């Protein structure tokens, strides 16, 4: 075992990469939950995004088009959730589960001919001076553009929820859909848009795994990241910046355990690989006491009766 | 009548199985306080929803200041100067006052300016409010102020108020009426919906009376007796419940030094509550909604556990016993919320009979259900309490409010309780069913049971209760005999104006 | 414009009809999907639904239906109790793995002793293993209010890693020339869950599944506990008012579903699968969720749904072999089934009416 092989600068830089899929999926789900909808289909939308993005960027040679396709793919899958929960008024838990089961099947069907291929690379940004700084350069200024986009989305969601009327209406719908309806807001329309946004973000997160983090396509490659993203929203108490914090924390756990595996620590590989899931459970336990910040209408079915 | 602001002609709206509004026509004058009077289910809510653009009429037309008026959505109604204060469902607990108000406006100014406007308008109308307080922490009266201010900021021509006083103490009602009179003085019309006759006589210029979706009369409330209006509203002479003299027995229920936190985020903790109820006695507990009524019922039903000695039934400490054990001992309860709390909406009446009847009616044997006996019990409730339903297989949600409430009260009364606790037994129930329920409570007490009736309807409590106490912010006042209590005294027991300033107008 | 009107009470007729309509819709859209994939839709549907039952080799496939159906039904019955009460155990896959591990471990510990009591002990160990794994989310939910959906699901990934570790380590066959995986229990008579009637597919797991169906039926329809489960799902507040203790119900529902999933795992590892190996689990724990919903959370419905789902597995394998239909297409097909079922469920509680547009 050789812990000195672990380079702290690279560790932090790769932590940010490991955190980004989680961050993207979680910020999307945060918006969905803020609107009062619980979509447990994140895993399904992520894996669909992963293969859509992978396939399109392989076919077109452009990672950018790939990410666009991933967002569209995730959103299209979330449209099924929209149909089930917003139009057919189905149970959100069951619908979310079905979305995940369906997404896993669909992605492996779509991905059959893409196993073992290398996708085109997305170049890392290079900012003169800044990127060349020691320590800070590799950590903060030498990543792929999507990583910055992820942080940008967090900031945008935060600003949207805190300062804009759209954000206020979104929160109102999630807080009390009957009251929002009585005031004349289109509850279903707002929720549909939120769900589509969540789907697009999950799709981007999935594609980040298949195009940048790994980068290749294997079946079921999201391996529970979508579920961890759901836990992350609880962890973050529905606050955008805490999503960032939480994602980096989980990213850290993942990267550290991978580094320990590589360094040949005496703990068996399987037990190290369990750690992100165990940490998720631990965090859920610690944070479950405080549910007060959950949107009050979360998971409830809305039907304008009269 | 002065100039006409809004005129309705031939408005009709039908829902499957019921005509909610049938050919409704009347006019509201500018600067007039117009009462819309009717029982629960008379069609008042549907009518105002049409005026506010939430529901579209099947036929008929409206004119606003002489021009056709057909709002497609509340936004359009608001743009035309129509504002509404809802009875329920229109505030967001987790948001602050200013955010709540912004949501009700078309083009709200930036938050800081809005907050200043809220302070200004609320002071002007004698309804002071802090724009940055979280709405969930406000009292019922303050919450209503939020709604009213939200409307006033829009400079409405017509203000619709749906049962505004049901959440207020008598003193708070006075403050509200001052505000409304001031608004009328400024030329604002008010459509005032209520079934409380004295209020309408005190405030309104004209009244339109609805019964079963039709206009059955109009009157000048100041010149009409409450009795006459009541008969127009109900359609027949009302039968007042009979009270017979009752001999009081031993203390059946003894609550002493009871303090518990509320299980819900925006609930009210109970603080040092003392109360004894004797056999044969009805104690009425009044108070504005949200002052600990739900928590008190929960403490008595066994849904909220307390120290063992804080609640005693026939001298036996039961504070740590769950609902089933308490039922076995004879303490039965009927919560306020019929659908989802007292009854499971999608389950049949038979299954709902089992819900609380399992122990006392011996509907379970070695853990196995006796469906035959359960069904028979349900049928007995339906027969004895005149529950209008096709039969015991009907789902609870298919029953009207009054019929389901009769079922819920009947279910408990027929189990011969030692102590029965009911919360809002006649809320949202038509007059005939309400009278039947009150009579059942009186009969139960006459038979030697102790009854606690929690209600926000003061008239009801004065009618059936022997002693009266009020809940105010989780504290229970000392009970006093109802005979001879004045409205002012009751109001003070309920907490007066909750520290609100009286309107300076 | 289409408007939804809530029915005064749930429609019995639609409640029975929706699964059938959902199956038909899935055949239709699934057929379209197969067509897009270049397979003759009619032939594919026929291969999936007809071939295993009445085709040339049905003598071989029919027993396979029991083998595939039994774990699905066993797990789905357990899940359905929790789902009815609003307790969402979606980690049955993990409980299945742990049940198989503990059960197999007990059997392997006795190797090579032959005795009648070994298999019963394995059954108990399997059930206990699944139960214990399900108790983790149950306990955390009761004690800390932790979301059981996320915890039970996280534990699936943990169980998968654990399975890998066991089949590479502790339970590895010492005579296996270093290959991963345990000894084959099929070759260890006292621990083998063999067909009760040779080549019928009828092993102890099938018997257990049938017993579970009957048990669940009686529980839900005739017993107070079943009433409490249904009541909690329909109206949680009314359940507390009726005296149901939510914590007890959570422990019970998760415990039963965990134990049943563990049993399913044990019967599989000691029978059809034969050994603990890295890829021992094939997703029964997740497919059982579809089975539970497709069966409308009703024991008899689950029995039928389990059979149907087994049919799509077997038929899918045949279609894979004969028509080159990708395995993933069947997974999509199964997911589609759940979609249609959930969507059509609307008709049980709502009436669809054509109306002129209205603001509502």
Tell me: the pLDDT tens digits for B124-134?
888 888 899 98
Per DSSP, B395 falls in state: B
Alpha carbon of A142: minimum distance to chain C alpha carbons (Å): 33
Residue C57 phi/psi, 5-degree rounding, is -105, 25
Helix or strand (DSSP H, E) at C109: helix C92-110
Domains delineated in chain A = 3-287 (1.10.3470)
- Rounded Cα distance between B77 and A233, Å, is 38
Provide the β-strand partners of residue B471. B476
Residue C277's closest CA among C192, C172, C176, C193? C172
Q: What is the pLDDT of residue B244?
A: 61
Domains B4-234 and B251-493 share a fold: yes
Say which of C8, C223, C237 has its CB closest to residue B369.
C223
- Estimate the share of chain A in helix, then strand, then coil, as percent rounded to the nearest 5: 70, 0, 30
Where do the domains of chain B lie? Answer: 4-234, 251-493
Residue B240 has pLDDT above 70, yes or no: no
Within 8 A by CB and 6+ apart from C120, the residues are none
Q: What is the pLDDT of residue B2?
A: 61
Average pLDDT over residues C111-122: 89
CB C191 within 8 A of CB C286: no
B contact test, residue of A35, A176, A182 with most B CBs within 10 A: A182
Q: Where are the beta strands (DSSP E) in chain A?
A: none
Longest dimension (CA), chain A: 69
Q: Determine how many CB atoms are found less than 10 A away from the CB of residue A221.
A: 20
> CB under 8 Å, gap of 24 or more: what pairs does A154-157 form?
A154/A23, A154/A27, A154/A240, A154/A241, A154/A243, A154/A244, A155/A240, A157/A27, A157/A30, A157/A31, A157/A240
Contact B368/C223, CB-based, under 8 Å?
yes
- Rounded Cα distance between B259 and B265, Å, is 17
Average pLDDT over residues B143-153: 86
Residue B192 phi/psi, 5-degree rounding, is -110, 110
Which value, to the nearest 10 degrees, does the dihedral of the CA atoms of residues B488, B494, B500, B504 take? Answer: -20
- Rounded Cα distance between A240 and C269, Å, is 45
In chain A, which residues have their Cβ closer than 8 Å to the Cβ of C333? Answer: 105
Q: Which residue of C has its CA nearest to A272?
A: C161
Q: Is C64 on the interface with A (CB under 8 A)?
A: no
Q: Give C 135-174 residues with CB within 8 A of chain A.
A: 140, 144-147, 149-151, 153-158, 161-162, 164-165, 168-169
* Angle, helices A8-34/A165-175, rounded to nearest 10 degrees: 70
Helix or strand (DSSP H, E) at B452: strand B450-454
Contact C230/B368, CB-based, under 8 Å?
no
Q: Which of A72-81, B393-402, C191-200 holds the top average pLDDT?
A: A72-81
Task: Note if the bond before B154 is cis, omega within 30 degrees.
Answer: no
Bigger pLDDT: B75 vs B304 = B304
DSSP C207-235: HHHHHHHHHHHHHHHHBHHHHHHHHHHH-
- Rounded Cα distance between C332 and C338, Å, is 10
Average pLDDT over residues B29-58: 87
Contact A182/B90, CB-based, under 8 Å?
yes
Provide the β-strand partners of residue B468. B284, B480
pLDDT digits (tens, 9 = 90+) for B466-477: 999 999 888 999
B contact test, residue of C235, C349, C352 with most B CBs within 10 A: C235
Side-chain half-sphere CA neighbours of B38 within 13 A: 25
pLDDT digits (tens, 9 = 90+) for A155-173: 999 999 999 999 999 999 9
CB A104 within 8 A of CB A50: no
C→B contacts (Cβ < 8 Å), by residue, are 5, 8-10, 222-225, 227, 230-231, 234-235, 237-243, 245, 358-360
Q: Which residue of B has its CA nearest to C358?
A: B56
- Rounded Cα distance between A64 and A53, Å, is 9
- CA dihedral sign, ordered A88, A92, A98, A99: positive
Provide the β-strand partners of residue A112. none
Counted across chains B and C, CB pairs separated by less than 8 A come out at 85
Confidence of residue A306 (pLDDT cuts 50, 70, 90): very low
In chain C, which residues have their Cβ closer than 8 Å to the Cβ of B371? Answer: 222
> In Å, what is the CA distance from B298 to each residue of A24, B453, C78, C320, C338?
43, 14, 32, 60, 40
pTM (predicted TM-score): 0.87
Tokens 């899929």 locate to A21
Residue C145 has pLDDT above 90, yes or no: no
Q: Which of B73-77, B395-399, C255-259 holds the top average pLDDT?
A: C255-259
CB A195 within 8 A of CB A86: yes
Confidence of residue C252 (pLDDT cuts 50, 70, 90): very high
Residue B405 has pLDDT above 70, yes or no: yes
Bigger pLDDT: B401 vs B353 = B353
Q: Give C 275-334 residues with CB within 8 A of chain A.
A: 286, 289-290, 293, 326-334
Alpha carbon of C278: minimum distance to chain A alpha carbons (Å): 11
Residue C65 has pLDDT above 60, yes or no: yes
Average pLDDT over residues C260-279: 89
C contact test, residue of B344, B360, B363 with most C CBs within 10 A: B344
C contact test, residue of B326, B347, B391 with most C CBs within 10 A: B347
Residue B162 phi/psi, 5-degree rounding, is -100, 110
Residue B484 has pLDDT above 90, yes or no: no
Residue A138 has pLDDT above 80, yes or no: no
What's the whole-number average pLDDT of chain B? 87
CB A283 within 8 A of CB A233: no
Contact C346/A227, CB-based, under 8 Å?
no
Q: Determine how many CB atoms are found less than 10 A away from the CB of residue B310.
A: 22
The CATH fold assigned to B4-234 is Rossmann fold (3.40.50)
- Domain B251-493: give its CATH code: 3.40.50.300
Contact B93/A296, CB-based, under 8 Å?
yes
Work out the percent of chain B whose per-residue pLDDT is above 70. 94
Q: What is the pLDDT of residue B333?
A: 96
Work out the percent of chain B whose per-residue pLDDT is above 90. 45
In chain A, which residues have their Cβ closer than 8 Å to the Cβ of B99? Answer: 168, 172
Which chains would you list as touching B if contact means 3+ CB atom pairs under 8 Å? A, C
Residue C232 has pLDDT above 90, yes or no: yes
ipTM: 0.85
- Rounded Cα distance between C72 and B306, Å, is 45
Confidence of residue B504 (pLDDT cuts 50, 70, 90): very low
Structure-block tokens of residue A88: 């057919």
Q: Which of B475-489, C196-210, C211-225 holds the top average pLDDT?
A: C211-225
Q: Which of A129-133, B414-418, C16-20, C356-360 holds the top average pLDDT?
A: B414-418
- Rounded Cα distance between B302 and B313, Å, is 12
Q: What is the pLDDT of residue B502?
A: 44
Contact A94/C293, CB-based, under 8 Å?
yes
Which chains would you list as touching A if contact means 3+ CB atom pairs under 8 Å? B, C
Confidence of residue B238 (pLDDT cuts 50, 70, 90): low
Average pLDDT over residues B21-30: 91
Say which of C157, C165, C343 has its CB closest to residue A277.
C157
pLDDT digits (tens, 9 = 90+) for A231-251: 889 888 889 999 999 899 888
Alpha carbon of C205: minimum distance to chain B alpha carbons (Å): 28
Q: What is the pLDDT of residue C256?
A: 96
- Rounded Cα distance between B357 and B174, Å, is 44
- Rounded Cα distance between B211 and B191, Å, is 17
């Amino acid at each position: 075992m050789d812990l000195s092989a672990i380079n702290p600068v690279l560790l932090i830089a790769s932590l940010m990469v490991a955190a980004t899929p989680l961050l993207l999926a979680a910020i999307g789900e945060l918006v969905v939950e803020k609107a009062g909808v619980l979509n447990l289909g994140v895993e399904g939308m992520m894996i669909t995004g992963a293969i859509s993005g992978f396939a399109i960027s392989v076919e077109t040679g452009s990672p950018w088009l790939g990410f666009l396709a991933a967002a569209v793919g995730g959103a299209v899958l979330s449209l099924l959730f929209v149909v089930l929960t917003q139009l057919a008024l189905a149970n959100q838990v069951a619908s979310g589960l079905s979305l995940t089961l369906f997404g896993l099947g669909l992605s492996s069907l779509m991905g059959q001919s893409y196993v073992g291929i290398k996708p085109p690379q997305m170049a890392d940004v290079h900012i003169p001076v800044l990127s060349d700084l020691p320590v800070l350069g590799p950590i903060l200024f030498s990543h792929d553009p999507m990583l910055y986009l992820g942080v940008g989305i967090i900031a945008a969601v935060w600003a949207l929820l805190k300062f804009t009327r759209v954000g206020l209406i979104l929160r109102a719908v999630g807080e009390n859909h009957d009251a929002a309806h009585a005031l004349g807001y289109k509850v279903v329309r707002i929720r549909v848009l939120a769900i589509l946004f969540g789907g697009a973000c999950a799709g981007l997160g999935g594609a980040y795994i298949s195009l940048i983090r790994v980068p290749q396509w294997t079946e079921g490659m999201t391996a529970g990241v979508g579920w961890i993203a759901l836990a992350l929203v609880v962890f973050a108490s529905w606050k955008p910046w805490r999503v960032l914090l939480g994602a980096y924390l989980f990213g850290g756990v993942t990267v550290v355990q991978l580094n320990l595996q590589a360094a040949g620590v005496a703990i068996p590989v399987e037990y190290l690989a369990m750690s992100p899931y165990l940490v998720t459970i631990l965090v859920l336990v610690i944070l479950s006491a405080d549910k007060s910040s959950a949107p009050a209408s979360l998971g409830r079915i809305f039907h304008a009766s009269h | 009548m002065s100039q006409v602001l809004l005129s309705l002609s031939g408005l009709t709206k039908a829902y499957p199985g019921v005509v909610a509004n049938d050919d409704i026509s009347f006019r509201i004058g500018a600067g007039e306080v117009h009462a819309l009077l009717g029982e629960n289910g008379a069609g008042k809510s549907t009518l105002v929803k049409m005026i506010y653009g939430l529901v579209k009429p099947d036929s008929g037309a409206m004119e606003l200041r002489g021009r056709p008026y057909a709002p497609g959505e509340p936004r359009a109604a608001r743009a035309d100067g129509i504002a509404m204060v809802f009875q329920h469902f229109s505030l967001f607990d987790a948001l602050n006052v200013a955010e709540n108000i912004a949501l009700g406006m078309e083009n709200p100014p930036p938050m800081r300016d809005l907050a200043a406007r809220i302070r200004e308008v609320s002071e002007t109308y004698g309804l002071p409010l802090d724009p940055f307080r979280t709405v969930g922490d406000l009292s019922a009266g303050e919450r209503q102020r939020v709604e009213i201010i939200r409307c006033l900021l829009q400079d409405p021509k017509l203000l619709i108020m749906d049962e505004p006083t049901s959440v207020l103490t008598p003193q708070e009602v006075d403050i509200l009426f001052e505000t409304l009179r001031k608004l009328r003085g400024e030329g604002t019309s008010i459509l005032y919906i209520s079934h409380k006759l004295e209020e309408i006589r005190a405030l309104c210029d004209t009244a339109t009376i609805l019964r079963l979706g039709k206009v059955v009369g109009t009157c000048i409330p100041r010149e009409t007796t409450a009795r006459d209006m009541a008969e127009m509203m109900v359609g027949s002479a009302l039968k007042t419940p009979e009270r017979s003299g009752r001999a009081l027995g031993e203390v059946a229920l003894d609550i002493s030094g009871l303090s518990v936190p509320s299980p819900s985020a925006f609930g009210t903790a109970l603080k040092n509550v003392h109360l004894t109820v004797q056999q044969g006695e009805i104690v009425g507990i009044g108070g504005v909604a949200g002052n600990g009524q739900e928590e008190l019922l929960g403490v008595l039903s066994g849904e909220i556990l307390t120290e063992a000695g804080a609640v005693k039934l026939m001298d036996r400490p039961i504070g740590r016993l769950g609902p089933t054990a308490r039922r076995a001992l004879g303490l039965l309860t009927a919560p306020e919320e019929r659908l989802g709390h007292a009854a499971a909406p999608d389950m049949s009446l038979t299954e709902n009979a089992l819900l609380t009847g399992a122990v006392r009616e011996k509907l379970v044997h070695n853990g196995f259900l006796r469906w035959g006996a359960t069904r028979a019990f349900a049928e007995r409730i339906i027969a004895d309490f005149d529950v209008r339903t096709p039969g015991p297989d009907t789902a609870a949600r298919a029953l009207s409010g009054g019929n389901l409430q009769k079922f819920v009260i009947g279910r408990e009364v027929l189990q011969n309780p030692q102590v029965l606790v009911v919360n809002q037994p006649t809320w949202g129930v038509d007059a005939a069913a309400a009278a039947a329920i009150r009579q059942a409570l009186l009969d139960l007490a006459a038979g030697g049971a102790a009854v606690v009736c929690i209600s926000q309807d003061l008239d009801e409590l004065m009618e059936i209760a022997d002693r009266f106490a009020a809940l105010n912010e989780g504290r229970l006042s000392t009970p006093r005999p109802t005979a001879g209590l004045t409205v002012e005294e009751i109001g003070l027991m309920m907490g007066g104006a909750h520290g609100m300033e009286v309107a300076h107008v | 414009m289409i408007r939804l009107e809530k029915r005064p009470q749930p429609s019995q007729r639609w409640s029975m009809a929706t699964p059938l309509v959902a199956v038909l819709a899935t055949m239709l859209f699934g057929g379209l999907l197969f067509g897009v994939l270049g397979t003759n839709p009619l032939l594919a549907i026929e291969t999936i639904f007809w071939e295993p039952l009445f085709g040339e080799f049905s003598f071989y496939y029919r027993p396979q239906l029991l083998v595939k159906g039994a774990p699905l039904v066993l797990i789905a019955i357990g899940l359905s109790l929790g789902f009815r009460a609003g307790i969402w155990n979606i980690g049955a896959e993990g409980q299945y793995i742990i049940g198989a591990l503990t059960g197999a471990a007990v059997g392997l510990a006795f190797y090579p002793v032959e005795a009648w009591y070994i298999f019963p002990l394995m059954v108990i160990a399997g059930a206990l293993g699944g139960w214990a794994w399900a108790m983790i989310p149950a306990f955390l939910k009761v004690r800390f209010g932790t979301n059981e959906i996320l915890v039970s699901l996280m534990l699936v990934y943990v169980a998968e890693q654990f399975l890998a570790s066991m089949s590479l380590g502790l339970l590895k066959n010492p005579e296996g020339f270093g290959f991963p995986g345990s000894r084959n229990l099929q070759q260890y008579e006292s621990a083998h869950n063999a067909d009760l009637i040779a080549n019928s597919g009828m092993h102890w797991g099938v018997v257990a599944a049938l017993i579970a169906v009957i048990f669940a039926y009686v529980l839900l329809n005739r017993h107070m506990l079943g009433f409490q489960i249904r009541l909690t799902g329909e109206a949680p507040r009314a359940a507390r008012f009726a005296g149901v203790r939510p914590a007890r119900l959570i422990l019970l529902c998760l415990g039963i579903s965990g134990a049943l999933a563990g049993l399913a795992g044990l019967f599989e590892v000691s029978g059809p699968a034969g050994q603990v190996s890295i890829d021992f689990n094939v997703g029964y724990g997740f497919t059982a969720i579809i089975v539970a919903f497709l069966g409308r959370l009703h024991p008899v419905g689950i029995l039928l749904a389990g059979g149907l789902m087994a049919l799509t597995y077997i038929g899918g394998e045949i279609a894979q072999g004969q028509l080159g239909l990708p395995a993933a297409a069947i997974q999509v097909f199964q997911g589609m089934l759940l979609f249609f079922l959930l969507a059509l469920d609307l008709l049980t509680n709502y009436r669809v009416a054509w109306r002129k547009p209205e603001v509502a």
